[in-house]
Amino acid sequence: MHASPFESALLRLTQDAVFTMFHGFDVLSLFAVARASRIVHAIYCIYRRHVWDPDVHYGRWFHDVAYFKELLHRTSAVVSGSFALQFFGRLYYPSSDMDIFLRAAGADDVCSWLREEGYNSNVDGDEYGEWGAGESPHYTKAVMNKSSFHDPLLGVYAFQKIGSPPAGQDETLRIQVIVVDVDPVQHILFDFHSTGVMNFLTAFEGVSVFPWSTFVDRVSYVSKIRRESDARVAGWKKKYEGRGFLVKAGGSEVLQTLERGSRFVGDRRSWSMVFDDCAPLSRGYYGHQNIHIRFEVLLEDSGVVAHGSCIRVAEPYIWNLSPFEYFLLRASTSVTCRLLQHVDILSLVSLSRTSKQLHSVYEWFAEMAWDPSWRYRQWFVHIKAFKRLLRRCNAVVSGSFALQFFERRRYVGSDMDIYLRCAGVKEFCVWLKNEGYRNVDGNSSYVRTNFPEDTLRALAPRNSKRNPLLGVHTFQRMLGSASGHIEVQRVQVIVVDTDPVEHILFHFHSTAVMNFLAADRAVALFPMNTFVDRVSFITHAPPPASNHVVWKRKYRKRGFRIVGDSISEPEYRAVLGIRYVGDKFCWTMSFRGDSTWERGYYGVPKPDFAFEVLSSDLGIVDEGCKYKIAEPFVWR
């Protein structure tokens, strides 16, 4: 491959001559030259590794550079200010200092190590005016929560020593350890005075948040939000104007090259460098350091830019709110809960998809509205023990209780139905007795004998006439309500001869009650029909018909339309065909639970139990029913 005259000249020059030439290019020209050819790009890579090597820059300040980077990682600290500006801009500002930003943990480590490196405390060099005379005063401010909006610094410790600069003459090296009350990257974004200084280096990478404005346009947009003295503002403006920046304050025109709107640190508009030795050394005091913080760039027309500033770098998503969003976010929790409690489920889900703010409100409300522990707490004292029993016995809570859970309602006088198999019945009944419930069905065999009646029924031969219910143990207790009335709480432990979910599918009378709560999830099998259409399709109605009058009347009073074979409701239809518990047509909620719970008596419950919804057109639907729910694949 033949080299061009320019490439030949570069290859013949010494490294110092090439570096001097590349130093003379502005950053855009440098990147353009690097893309000219493979040969030039290879030379550029050598230059890049040298000029943007943090070890070279740190070597001017410290003897043990490796330990300094380990300190940065351990304390989640960042190096910013003029040092980071010089690093990215390939510049050298005589007498500029190094600013290290970090949180309270680790400040003493950094200060002690700086003294070992030969630095001495320098009270006069503290330009922030935050130096405390006591020992580690930042701890006092942190513990007593003395930081505030206008005073976010917990402490500033200034150090200095005499070093040798590149020119070979002695100079005073100054370092400021600045302890802040938030993540250091957040402090840089939301508390620095202008965009030109929003650059930083961590232990493993460096980021310039506004590289085009800073290193191409040479513009620094004022974005301060706190009060500062006129002398201090004039001081830093003069300093950066002297370094060749155009400082744009309030009322100045914003160039089109400044990206507006939502962003995050390290996005494609940032200038990010990952250093070669980027393997984490150990876990830091604050865990993994996340620098990819989201923010929003707002102009003066947003109405939230502080006086004297040109833009505002702020937390995202909260500055362009509708009046309704403002109302919800500013209302008390009780008002918000009462309002959302009266919103039907479709409107509630639609509201959650309107904006990120409303989705956050919905998630907060949903976590409370569909919290099973809150429901259980009205019935039992030891909630965790009840959940462990559900898991150990492979039991589920169904009936009116599950319906109320999904509907966010309360039916006065309704009971709690717990469905389970034989194993664990005795344990469940004894636990209910310890919770203050007493057995009212006249059958206390669950205590008196090792083989209660429901167990003996389970051992009997199966036939088509056998009742799927092996036993029902009813418990109740008297409880004083908040209004002063005496309320009767009734719990039914219903023993079935098969998996409780299978019993719900194949033996419950209609679709509206096919909902259940297990130990780790809640499932509604026909949510659209039940909670949106308010329709309940009859699926199991063994004769005589008189047995079904009571429950039909009860669910009609609760607002449901009961649909059987004699009622034509063409506008309401259930999803037909093969389905399974937890499929896309179900409404499933997973609960946060203890993953260390023991294995149940019947092993791990089958999570995706399959079933088939059959229409009356097939001729196998029972009399009085609209659909048949049956085992799949055997009815066609």
* Contact yes or no for 131/122 (Cβ under 8 A): no
Rounded to an integer, what distance in angstroms lies between the CA atom of residue 80 and that of residue 198?
A: 8
pLDDT value at residue 134: 44
Q: Are 592 and 604 found together in one domain? A: yes
Does pLDDT of 166 surpass 60? no
Residue of 467 and 497 predicted with greater confidence: 497
Beta-strand runs (E) in 294-343: 294-299, 311-314
Arithmetic mean of pLDDT, 501-520: 93
Q: What is the DSSP string of 314-359?
A: E-TTSSS--HHHHHHHHS-HHHHHHHHHTS-HHHHHHHHTT-HHHH
pLDDT value at residue 75: 92
pTM comes to: 0.57
Q: Are 347 and 494 found together in one domain? A: no
pLDDT value at residue 597: 57
Arithmetic mean of pLDDT, 184-204: 93
636 within a domain of the structure (yes/no): no
Distance of CA 452 to CAs 112, 157, 503, Å?
A: 73, 76, 21
635 within a domain of the structure (yes/no): no
Backbone phi, psi, residue 284, to 5°: -80, 170
Q: At what angle do helices 65-75 and 107-116 cross, to 10 degrees?
A: 170
How many residues are recorded in the chain?
636
- Asked if residue 544 has a cis previous peptide bond (ω within 30° of 0), the answer is yes
Q: Are 217 and 339 found together in one domain? A: no
Q: Which residues contact 261 (CB under 8 A, 6 or more apart)?
A: 296, 297
Render the burial of 333-357: b for 16+ CB within 10 Å, e for the rest. Answer: eeebeeebeeeebeebeebbeebeb
Confidence label for 449 from pLDDT (cuts 50, 70 and 90): very low
* Contact yes or no for 216/30 (Cβ under 8 A): no
For the stretch 212-249, pLDDT in tens is 999 999 999 999 877 777 888 888 899 999 999 999 98
Q: Are 542 and 456 found together in one domain? A: yes
521 within a domain of the structure (yes/no): yes
| 98-102/171-180 β-pairing | parallel
Taking 3-state DSSP, the helix, strand and coil percentages for the chain, each rounded to the nearest 5, stand at 35, 20, 40
Backbone phi, psi, residue 331, to 5°: -70, 155
444 within a domain of the structure (yes/no): yes
Q: Are 412 and 391 found together in one domain? A: yes
Chain-centre distance of CA 147, in angstroms? Answer: 27
H or E segment to which residue 278 belongs = none
Total domains in the fold of the chain: 4
Q: Which residues pair with 437 in a beta bridge?
A: none
281 within a domain of the structure (yes/no): yes
Other beta carbons within 10 Å of 94: 9
Rounded to an integer, what distance in angstroms lies between the CA atom of residue 3 and that of residue 24?
A: 23
Confidence label for 169 from pLDDT (cuts 50, 70 and 90): low
| 577-580/515-517 β-pairing | unpaired
Q: Are 14 and 125 found together in one domain? A: no
Does pLDDT of 275 surpass 90? no
- Side chain identity at 477, as an amino acid letter? R
Residue of 501 and 135 predicted with greater confidence: 501
pLDDT value at residue 444: 44
Owning domain of residue 217 = 60-314
Q: Are 91 and 130 found together in one domain? A: yes
* Contact yes or no for 293/185 (Cβ under 8 A): yes
Does pLDDT of 446 surpass 50? no
Confidence label for 129 from pLDDT (cuts 50, 70 and 90): very low
3-state SS assignment for residue 147: coil
- In percent, the amount of the chain with pLDDT more than 90 equals 41
**Domain termination site, one of 314, 334, 356:** 314
Residue of 438 and 462 predicted with greater confidence: 438
pLDDT value at residue 128: 41
Q: What is the DSSP string of 7-25?
A: HHHHHHS-HHHHHHHHHHS
Residue of 307 and 586 predicted with greater confidence: 586
Q: Which residues contact 164 (CB under 8 A, 6 or more apart)?
A: 170, 171
Q: Are 337 and 472 found together in one domain? A: no
Does pLDDT of 133 surpass 60? no
pLDDT value at residue 456: 58
Site of tokens 């620094």: 220
pLDDT value at residue 177: 94
- In percent, the amount of the chain with pLDDT more than 70 equals 86
Confidence label for 454 from pLDDT (cuts 50, 70 and 90): low
Q: Which residues contact 3 (CB under 8 A, 6 or more apart)?
A: 11, 39
Backbone phi, psi, residue 96, to 5°: -75, 155
CATH of the domain at 184: 3.30.460.10
Look over the chain and give the mean of its residue pLDDT values, rounded to a whole number: 84
**Domain termination site, one of 276, 293, 314:** 314
CB-neighbour burial class of residue 184 (10 A; exposed 0-12, middle 13-18, buried 19+) = buried
Q: Are 45 and 72 found together in one domain? A: no
Distance of CA 221 to CAs 230, 239, 300, 620, Å?
A: 17, 14, 12, 76
Arithmetic mean of pLDDT, 466-476: 84
Confidence label for 304 from pLDDT (cuts 50, 70 and 90): confident
pLDDT value at residue 116: 93
Q: Are 275 and 305 found together in one domain? A: yes
**Domain termination site, one of 297, 314, 331:** 314
Confidence label for 491 from pLDDT (cuts 50, 70 and 90): very high
Does pLDDT of 319 surpass 80? no
* Contact yes or no for 138/106 (Cβ under 8 A): no
pLDDT value at residue 174: 93
98 within a domain of the structure (yes/no): yes
- Side chain identity at 548, as an amino acid letter? H
557 within a domain of the structure (yes/no): yes
Residue of 229 and 142 predicted with greater confidence: 229
* Contact yes or no for 581/607 (Cβ under 8 A): yes
DSSP 8-class letter at 538: B
Q: Are 455 and 532 found together in one domain? A: yes
* Contact yes or no for 219/246 (Cβ under 8 A): yes
Does pLDDT of 551 surpass 60? yes
pLDDT value at residue 163: 75
Confidence label for 181 from pLDDT (cuts 50, 70 and 90): confident
Other beta carbons within 10 Å of 507: 17
3-state SS assignment for residue 391: helix
Chain-centre distance of CA 34, in angstroms? Answer: 41
Q: Are 470 and 575 found together in one domain? A: yes
- Side chain identity at 200, as an amino acid letter? F
pLDDT value at residue 139: 63
For the stretch 370-387, pLDDT in tens is 999 999 998 999 999 999
Q: Where are the alpha helices (DSSP H) in 421-509?
A: 425-434, 445-448, 453-459, 500-507
Rounded to an integer, what distance in angstroms lies between the CA atom of residue 329 and that of residue 619?
A: 55
